[in-house]
Amino acid sequence: MMNYIPTSQIHIPEGMIDLGVGDPDFALLPLDMLHRAAEACFAKADPAFLQYGAEQGDGYFRMALAGFLSRGYGFSVDPGTLFVTNGISNALDLICAHFTRPGDTIFVEEPTYFLALRIFADHDLRIVPVQTDENGLVIEALKEKLAEVHPKFLYTVPTFQNPGGYTLSQDRRDKLAQLSQEHDFMIAADEVYHFLNYSDRQVKSFAAYADLETVISLGSFSKILAPALRLGWLQAHPEAIKRLVTSGLLDSGGGLNPFTSAIVRELLEAGDLEKNIARLIAAYRSRLAAMETALRRELPQAEFVTPEGGFFFWVRLPGVDAEQTQQKALEYQVGFRPGVRFSSHTGMGDFIRLCFTFYDEENIDEGIRRLRKCLEFSL
Amino acid sequence: MMNYIPTSQIHIPEGMIDLGVGDPDFALLPLDMLHRAAEACFAKADPAFLQYGAEQGDGYFRMALAGFLSRGYGFSVDPGTLFVTNGISNALDLICAHFTRPGDTIFVEEPTYFLALRIFADHDLRIVPVQTDENGLVIEALKEKLAEVHPKFLYTVPTFQNPGGYTLSQDRRDKLAQLSQEHDFMIAADEVYHFLNYSDRQVKSFAAYADLETVISLGSFSKILAPALRLGWLQAHPEAIKRLVTSGLLDSGGGLNPFTSAIVRELLEAGDLEKNIARLIAAYRSRLAAMETALRRELPQAEFVTPEGGFFFWVRLPGVDAEQTQQKALEYQVGFRPGVRFSSHTGMGDFIRLCFTFYDEENIDEGIRRLRKCLEFSL
């Protein structure tokens, strides 16, 4: 029998402030909103949402989602270009399964989301890192790599990047889309943080390029609603959608998440997702400010660019071996993610990733104080 | 924009009785029961079930599931041996991804579930069919194949087989488990129909062998609750569980279905799943009898063994080319699945699969009448 009964994926020792955890705060998960949506869904008394679902995803859900995306992006999204997924990890897994073969080369940003690297490794892909700077992927560096090797796809987190926090500039977006056409590689744009924008600056989603056969925009409800839903979408050219939809898995099991998407459809149609995002932005903006203040006060040697959205500060601690320090940090009851985990070639050794969404302002402040104490002798 | 708005996976032309559809009846989907379970789940006001879930699946859900399985199987199931999936299609996809490489050989029953063949083809597996008879997989035929080639796994639907309807005898189960040990291949036992037993004869689940490292028992809520939940489980040796749990996909996205499993946990703890299964057995038993009566009356030339559970009659129509007849059947507004679709080498040409769970007795009777009219000149 089980001695310990796991529920969520998060296991933080009592008393610890783990700024390495990259998840939403439990207290900000929209329990009441989802409760109302579930009620509205069951109140229709139509059992159709309990049957095997349409392979591409429920049509009414995709219409409601297209409405939300059209309002958010400022341009029209066709529900026929949307495919319902179990979230971005699942979408990446499907893209690897359908568009690559073991041994194929793909490009990733350096640094990049470390768990995406795990998914690519599971598919035995050869991973080539491409340099980034404070404006995201460096196009010249990409061109150099493209002259050497042809990738099946490029994986990018273009907006409020994980872990870097930076956003790909508009000019680079256009160039990247154009290069994908010229060199015939796909762009898998992980836009999980797109709607968590704490600045006044608008950013154009890669959905704007999704009429190109080379661009797939990946979205998720994990960060703007609740991770447990395992609900996301991708937007792509009809040819790419067709390849994803005609699989044995979907033929056999039907759409990937018909029950949950029927509930979230109600929430979308009620206009609640916009309200939830506004609530999250208000909370996260304040937490971001708390972390910035604490970092500048406690760790003046730290180098970082304040993010304008998303979940993370990407902090360079000159002279610090972050992975070694992690063990010591346990004694100070504070956690972070060492930068090396986000590198595809064991670089980024003096970087750490700090998440500002999981804890409230008080805990963030205390966490950074503990980090200073832990680092006092290293810095 | 979409002209047609798809919700469920089922598209049957108006007026048609499609006995080829292998799905539960919409009218038998337990809307009220799931509504109560969702209410109970939200009433706890604990947001933990909305967070990233434990990779192996929520511990409390696995405890409730282990309780149900222990009562149903008549032996104790350890929740630590259960892994929560998105259903059996998803589980088969994961097994292929984790335990095979493109080009590997696997064994399947002849005939077998046609959409599983699609999943295996997507993983570029070499499929070798093994003969079956009215007691399931023929062990001597398996031994002959094993002498020729080593399979990574054998895929079997041991109980109320799809499409054959037959059940592997106890003696053959023991022999099969023993052979998997001797020849070191895995058994992926798809037990989706296990609990839909309309006879008085007990059948032992492959879960009874799951302490062996070579046996994986696959279960699902699709046929005993609702397909749209995309919720299932597998029971296996801890070593196999470990391989499935430590993947990039699960590390990144957490458990496969935490939200839905938290709702179904309530239903399990209330003892409602047993009630739902009893209700389904009563309904399906009557529909099975209606189809048998109609078949014997309308198609005396048809050869079949009356199934004791599951969803299907597997009917031989001597001298009929079932695939050719399918087109003609459209004129008579009746559908079936031609046997050739269940063959991995285009055999089974004079067989058809008829499902008795999707329609009520009246429609089943009318469907078989139409089939007789359609076949009148062929038989």
Per-residue pLDDT at A346: 82
Task: Please give chain B's pLDDT, 379 residues, in tens.
Answer: 456 788 899 999 999 999 999 999 999 999 999 999 999 999 999 999 999 999 999 999 999 999 999 999 999 999 999 999 999 999 999 999 999 999 999 999 999 998 999 999 999 999 999 999 999 999 999 999 999 999 999 999 999 999 999 999 999 999 999 999 999 999 999 999 999 999 999 999 999 999 999 999 999 999 999 999 999 999 999 999 999 998 999 988 999 999 999 999 999 999 999 999 999 999 999 999 999 999 999 999 999 999 999 999 999 999 999 999 999 999 999 999 999 999 988 889 999 999 999 999 999 999 999 999 999 866 5
CA A26 → CA A226, B41, B50, B113, distances in Å? 9, 16, 8, 42
**For residues A207 and A211, what is the distance between their CA atoms, to the nearest angstrom?**
8
Selection from B265, B153, B288 nearest residue A228 by Cα: B265
pLDDT digits 0-9 by tens, A48-85: 999 999 999 999 999 999 999 999 999 999 999 999 99
Residue A10 to residue B52, Cβ atoms within 8 A: yes
pLDDT digits 0-9 by tens, A203-239: 999 999 999 999 999 999 999 999 999 999 999 999 9
Measured in degrees and rounded to the nearest 5, phi and psi for residue A188 equal -100, 100
Q: Give Cβ neighbours of residue A320 (< 8 Å, ≥ 6 apart).
A: A350, A375, A378, A379
ipTM comes to 0.96
Instruction: Kindly state the tokens that stand for A51.
Output: 């049957």
DSSP state letters, A291-349: HHHHHHHH-TT-B----SBSSEEEEE-TT--HHHHHHHHHHTTEE-EEGGGG-TTS--T
Q: Which residues of A touch B51 (CB under 8 A)?
A: 7-10, 23-24, 26, 29, 226-228
Residue B8 to residue A35, Cβ atoms within 8 A: no
Q: Where in chain B is the domain with CATH 3.90.1150.10?
A: 17-29+274-378
**Strand pairing report for A232-235 and A82-85:** antiparallel
Largest CA distance in chain B: 64
Per-residue pLDDT at A1: 45
- Is residue A14 pLDDT above 60, yes or no? yes
pLDDT band at A7 (very low <50, low <70, confident <90, very high): confident
Q: Which residues of A touch B60 (CB under 8 A)?
A: 5, 7
B252: nearest CB among A10, A78, A116: A116
Q: In what order do the strands lie in the sheet containing A105-110?
A: A82-85, A232-235, A215-220, A186-190, A153-156, A105-110, A126-133, A136-137
Q: Return the residue of B nearest to A62 by Cα.
A: B5
Mean per-residue pLDDT of chain B: 96
Q: Where in chain B is the domain with CATH 3.40.640.10?
A: 32-272
Q: How far is A140 from chain B, CA to nearest CA, in Å? A: 30
Question: May I ask the CATH architecture of the domain B32-272?
Answer: 3-Layer(aba) Sandwich (3.40)
A2: nearest CB among B26, B80, B258: B80
Fold of A17-29+274-378: Aspartate Aminotransferase, domain 1 (3.90.1150)
Per-residue pLDDT at B2: 52
Average pLDDT over residues A98-109: 96
Residue B228 to residue A80, Cβ atoms within 8 A: no
- Is residue A357 pLDDT above 70, yes or no? yes
pTM of the model: 0.96
